[in-house]
Amino acid sequence: MTMLSMVAFAALITGTMPSSPPPQARQKVSMEFYVVQGPDAQKRYSFAKNGKPFWSWGVDCVTTGAAWESYDTGNRAYAAFHHFSNCQAWAEDTAAKLRAWGFNSLGGWSDFDLFKRYTPDSRLPYFEVLHLGSYDNAPWNDMFDPTFKEAIESAAKSLLPKFVDDPMLVGYFTDNELGWWGDSLFKSYFAMPSSAPGKVRLVRMLRSHYDDDFGRLRRDWETDAAGFDELAKARDITLRPGGEGAQAVNEWLRVLGERYYSVVYDAIRRYDAHHLILGDRYIQYYNIEIAKSSAPYIDVASTNLGADWTDGAISHFFLDTLHKATKRPVIITEFYMCATENRSGNKNSSDGFPVVATQAERAAAFGRYVRHVASLPYVVGAHWFQFTDEPEKGRGDGEDYNMGLVDIFGKPYQGMIRASQSIDFEGIRRAASNPGAPAKVSVPKAPAEPMAGLKAWPRDAGFLPPDSPFPTADLYVAADGDYLYLGLYSMEYMDESLYAGGKVPESERSRWVIQLGDAAPIEIRFGGKDRPPIPSNASVGLHEIPGLRNTLIARIPRPAGTEVVLHSRFETHSRGEFVSWRMPLELEK
């Protein structure tokens, strides 16, 4: 469906279309899923089909599990053939369970073929992950080489005929967790030979970015090249500290994003004119420039997103900014919650996914997460990852998490099931929310150990709304008798390799400025993995938990008085992105 017809269908739902659309159009409506915005005050988005809105509550990887042929009795895993005499019995049982547990769709990588074959009446719409980019190693191979477009088109040609007429398909994810990493993408294209179409495009971008003025480029970049022609032949370049080269990197990412999203869009639309195009499932991180560049070519933005805290809460900025940057509704394509207490023997041993102690805590956090995202007007669905626990000793890549609704023996985790069943999606979607930014914030009481991390903080009461249109950070406030605490929770990928020596120099590291009333501004330079953060004022205490999500907590002697205006500004490394806050704070006596 094109964006234009989406608008038309939205109008149809809200009742402004002529009363009898042409018969052909009506038939189309009955076949396909599309996106609508509701008539309510918040203009809630949802999928819809046949005029009926549909909020997708799905499960990823609903599969028969381990293959019998390769089953390893030394590493037990979910295997439908151990529990069912045949696949039809499995499909019937599983579809009935998912329905009874409150789910209404099959997320990525599910055995939808089997459900279609054996339970055609289960009416579980599904989503397909095409992995189109993987047919030419996108975005790493030269995406401007004509062979890239050919490879993607030929992949679409072979993949799509199976889906094109399927009314149970909601739409396509074009890929999963592509590596949109700024430094590597800039460097790998720069390292291509001068004749490579990708290098030609990069040099053209740099010429235009610097208005053909090589002197200006030299202010931002360190290179032996004497001009743009030599630059085309050079294989390496590094950012000059103090320069604004990060803006050129951002522009390059927009160019790459535009290329990827337009090519996959064209390829899909060539073989399927209607099904929704649902983005490429970001890896719990997105680059704003990439997200912006996707906007014209997607119907819905997608991201994988675990809870930021193990109570199931997530940051404010992540989904808000993704929605604003893409101007599209958002679907959460994976989220996770694991417990140490599990029946599959999962050790949950790498990091990157939230882990709690008990199944009760797990179920509570899971419920909180879903209720929250369902309340966001622009979120059109959430897909739990995944149907079963991972194998007891881990998958091939070592991942060994208690991620299942059922354990490896096929037995459901009842707490999770009850949590899913108890969610009143319609009620949540009807409720008014979004009260808008407050005029001032009453500073809540800090927890016992405020410097330990933000999990124990009163994050709802202490949230400070940003002033910026595309924030990449949340700011929280709390106080006790002696100190005011500010917690900055930001998303940032460190483009270390763009600098000589492979490290972002101190002068270029992320920076956070705090000004309380008329007091002198406090400037904080982030540390990172192996260095402590540095405050400009020795009275300020700092604790940093670095990563793609960075927590930085500042302890500042409590200002005098009961009201103080906070000005704050966060700059990502190399001044790539900016977020600012301005908010009067009310302090209890």
Partner 1 sequence: MIATLCAAALAGTTRFSLVREAGRDWLVTPGGRKTFSFGVCCVGHGQDFPDYDPAKPGYAGFRYYPSGSAWAQDAVDRLQKWGFNTIGAWSDTDLLRKPAAPNLLFTPILHMGSAAGAPWRDMWDPEIVALMDKIAKDQIVPLQKEKRVVGYFSDNEMGWWNAAMFEWSWKGPYSRVRLTDLLRRRYRGSWAALTKDFVPSEATSFAGLAKKGRVFLRPGGNGVEAVHAWMEVLAERYYFLCRSIIKKYDPGALYLGDRYISNFYPEVAKAAGKYVDILSTNLNADWPDGSFARFYLPNLERLCGKPMMITEYYECARDGRSGNRNDSSGFPVVDTQAERATAFLAQTRTLLETPYVVGAHWFQYYDEPKFGRDDGENYNMGLVDIDNRPYEEMTKASASLDLVRKHQRPLPALGDVRQGVPPLAERDLKDLAKWPRNRAYVPPTGLDERADLYFGWTPSGLYVTVYWNEDRFPEAYYKDGKIPASEHARLKLTVNGKSFNLDLETTPLAIHRTLDTRCWAILKLAPGVYRAGQAVSLDANLITRSHAYRAHWHGKYTLSS
Residues that bind partner 1 (CB under 8 A): 64, 67-73, 80-82, 85-88, 111, 114
Nearest residue to 379 via CA among 389, 388, 387, 369? 369
Phi and psi at residue 338, in whole multiples of 5°?
Answer: -125, 155
Which residues are bridge partners to 512 per DSSP?
524, 570
Which is nearest to 156 in space by CA: 268, 269, 297?
268
**Smallest distance from partner 1 to CB 66, Å:** 9
Nearest CB to partner 1, comparing residues 67 and 164? 67
Q: Which is nearer to partner 1, 83 or 567 (CB)?
A: 83
For the bound state, the minimum distance from the C-beta of residue 69 to partner 1, rounded and expressed in Å, comes to 4
Which of residues 80 and 464 has its CB atom nearest to partner 1 in the complex? 80
Instruction: Rank residues 117 and 440 by Cβ distance to partner 1 and give the closer one.
Output: 117
- How far apart (Å, rounded) are the C-alpha atoms in residues 294 and 279? 8
Could you give the CA distance from residue 564 to residue 518 in angstroms, rounded to a whole number?
A: 9
Compare residues 74 and 469 and give the one whose CB is closer to partner 1.
74
Considering the complex, state which of residue 64 and residue 402 has its C-beta at the smaller distance from partner 1.
64
Distance CA 457, CA 476 (A): 8
Q: In angstroms, give the least distance from the CB of 75 to partner 1.
A: 11
- My answer on whether omega of the bond before 412 falls inside 30° of 0, hence cis, is no
C-alpha angle 572/578/582, rounded to 5°?
Answer: 125
Task: Give least dist CB 61 to partner 1, A.
Answer: 15
- Closest approach of partner 1 to the CB of residue 211, in Å: 52
Distance CA 177, CA 335 (A): 13
Q: How many CB atoms lie within 10 A of CB 319?
A: 20
Closest distance of CB 394 from partner 1, Å: 18
DSSP string, 97-145: HHHHTT--EE-TT--HHHHHHH-TTS---EEEE--GGGGGTTTTS-TTS
3-state per-residue secondary structure call for 452-482: HCCCCCCCCCCEECCCCCCCCEEEEEEECCC
**Distance separating alpha carbons of residues 364 and 100, to the nearest angstrom:** 19
Q: Which is nearer to partner 1, 79 or 253 (CB)?
A: 79
Evaluate whether 542 touches 532 at the Cβ level (below 8 Å). Answer: yes
Q: What is the smallest separation between the CB atom of 86 and partner 1, expressed in angstroms?
A: 5
Among 286, 217, 284, 213, smallest CA distance to 248 is for: 217
CB of 81 to partner 1, least distance (A): 4
Which is nearer to partner 1, 67 or 357 (by Cβ)?
A: 67
Task: Note the Cα 509 to chain centre separation in Å.
Answer: 24
Task: Sort residue 433 into left (φ over 0), alpha (ψ -120 to 50) or beta.
Answer: beta
How many CB atoms lie under 10 A from the CB of residue 150?
13
Q: Which is nearer to partner 1, 67 or 565 (CB)?
A: 67
- Cβ 111 to partner 1, closest distance in Å? 7
CB of 63 to partner 1, least distance (A): 10
Question: For residue 429, how many C-alpha atoms fall within 13 Å in the half-sphere facing its CB?
Answer: 21
The residue behind tokens 């009850």 is 418
Q: Are 431 and 375 in contact (CB under 8 A)?
A: yes
DSSP assigned state of 239: E
* CA angle, residues 26, 27, 31, in degrees to nearest 5: 115
Give the nearer residue to partner 1 in terms of CB position, either 111 or 495.
Answer: 111
CB of 251 to partner 1, least distance (A): 44
24/73 with CB nearer partner 1: 73
Tell me how far, at minimum, the Cβ of 162 lies from partner 1, in Å. Answer: 16
Of 82 and 511, the one with the shorter C-beta distance to partner 1 is 82
Closer residue to partner 1 in complex, CB, 114/290:
114
Residue 366 · residue 422 · CB < 8 Å: no
Q: What is the arrangement of strands in the sheet containing 126-129, beginning at the earlier edge strand?
A: 276-277, 169-173, 126-129, 105-106, 56-59, 379-384, 330-335, 301-304, 282-283
Closest approach of partner 1 to the CB of residue 109, in Å: 15
Minimum distance between the CB of residue 79 and partner 1, rounded to whole angstroms?
A: 8
Please identify, using beta-carbon distances, which residue of 89 and 565 lies nearer to partner 1.
Answer: 89
Shortest distance in whole angstroms from residue 116 CB to partner 1: 12
Report which residue type is found at 160.
L
In the numeric block, the tokens 């989406």 are attached to 6
Taking the least distance from each CB to partner 1, the nearer of 118 and 489 is 118
